[in-house]
Structure 1
Amino acid sequence: MSISSGAPSGHTPLQEVARTALLAGLSTIVAGGAAAQSAAAAPEAVPAGVTVYAAGSLRTALTEAAQAFERQSGTRVAFNFGPSGLLKDKLLAGERADVFASANMEHPQALAAAGRSGAARPFARNALCLLGAPSFSLNGQDVAQRLLDPALRVGTSTPGADPAGDYAWRFFDKVESSGAAGPGSAQRLKDRALQLAGGPASPTPPPGRSVYAWLLDEKQADVFITYCTNATLAVRESRALQVLPLPQKLEVAATYGLAVLQGATPAAEAFTRFLLGEGGQSVLRSWGFGPP
Structure 2
Amino acid sequence: MAAAPQPSAPVAMPVSLHAAGSLRAALLDIAEAFQNETGIPVSAQFGASGLLKDRLIRGEAGEVFASANLEHPQALARAGLAGPAVLFARNELCAFLRPGLAATSATLLDLMLDPKVKLGTSTPKADPSGDYAFAVFAKAEAVKPGARAALEAKALKLTGGPDCLPAPEGLNVYGHKLASGEADIFLAYCTNAQPLAREQPGIAMLRLPEELAVGADYGLTVLNRASPSGCRLAMYILSRQAQAILARHDFAAPCLPREG
Partner of 2:46: 81
Aligned to 1:228: 190
Aligned pair partner of 2:125 in 160, 163, 168: 160
Matched, 1:251 2:216: no
CA distance, structure 1, for counterparts of residue 218 and residue 58 of structure 2: 22
> d(CA) in 2 for partners of 1:149 and 1:139?
15
Q: CA deviation at 1:216?
A: 0.9
For residue 159 of structure 2, what is the aligned residue in structure 1? 197
What's 1:128 paired with?
93
Corresponding residue number in structure 1 for 2:144: 181
Q: Secondary structure at the match of 2:211?
A: helix
Closer/same/farther in 2, CA of residues 140 and 267 from structure 1, 3 Å limit: closer
C-alpha contact (below 8 Å) 2:121/2:159 kept by paired residues: yes
1:53 aligns with 2:15: no
The answer to whether residue 75 in structure 2 is matched with residue 113 in structure 1 is no
Q: How many Å separate the matches in 2 of 1:148 and 1:58?
A: 30
Task: Give, as a single letter, the amino acid of the residue that structure 2 aligns with 1:98.
Answer: E
Alpha-carbon separation, structure 2, partners of 1:290 and 1:140: 22
Higher-helix-fraction structure: 1
CA RMSD of aligned residues (A): 1.4
Query: Is contact 1:213-1:235 (8 Å) kept?
Result: no
What do the CA deviations read for 1:24-69 (whole angstroms, capped 9, x no partner)?
xxxxxxxxxxxxxxxxxxxxxx764211000000000000011111
Structure 1 residue runs of 5 or longer lacking an equivalent are: 1-45
Q: Counterpart of 2:257?
A: none
CA separation of 1:163 and 1:140: change in aligned 2, threshold 3 A: closer
Instruction: Provide the secondary structure at the position in 1 that maps to 2:158.
Output: strand
Contact 1:129 1:231 in 2 (8 A): no
Which among 38, 59, 64 is matched to residue 29 of structure 2? 64
Q: 1:95 aligns with which of 60, 63, 77?
A: 60
Q: Distance in 1 between matches of 2:87 and 2:13?
A: 25
2:189 and 2:16 map into 1 onto residues whose CA distance is 25
Determine the C-alpha separation between the residues in 2 that align with 1:143 and 1:93: 41
Gaps of 5+ in 2: 1-10, 255-260
Deviations 1:192-247 (A, max 9, x none): 00000000000121111111111111111101000001243222211111111111
CA drift at 1:141: 5.1
Would the aligned equivalents of 1:156 and 1:225 in 2 still touch at CA under 8 Å? yes
CA distance in 1, matches of 2:13, 2:170: 23
2:207 is the counterpart of 1:238: no
Contact 2:12 2:40 in 1 (8 A): no
Q: 1:149 aligns with which of 86, 89, 114?
A: 114
The one-letter amino acid of 1:67's match is: E
Runs of 4+ deviating beyond 4 Å: none
- SS of the residue aligned with 1:249? coil
Q: Deviations over 1:120-173 (max 9, x none)?
A: 111000011111100211289522122111111100000010000000000110
TM-score, structure 2 as length reference: 0.91
Output the amino acid matched with 2:216: A
1:238-277 C-alpha deviation (Å, 9 max, x unpaired) = 1111111111221111000000001101111111111111
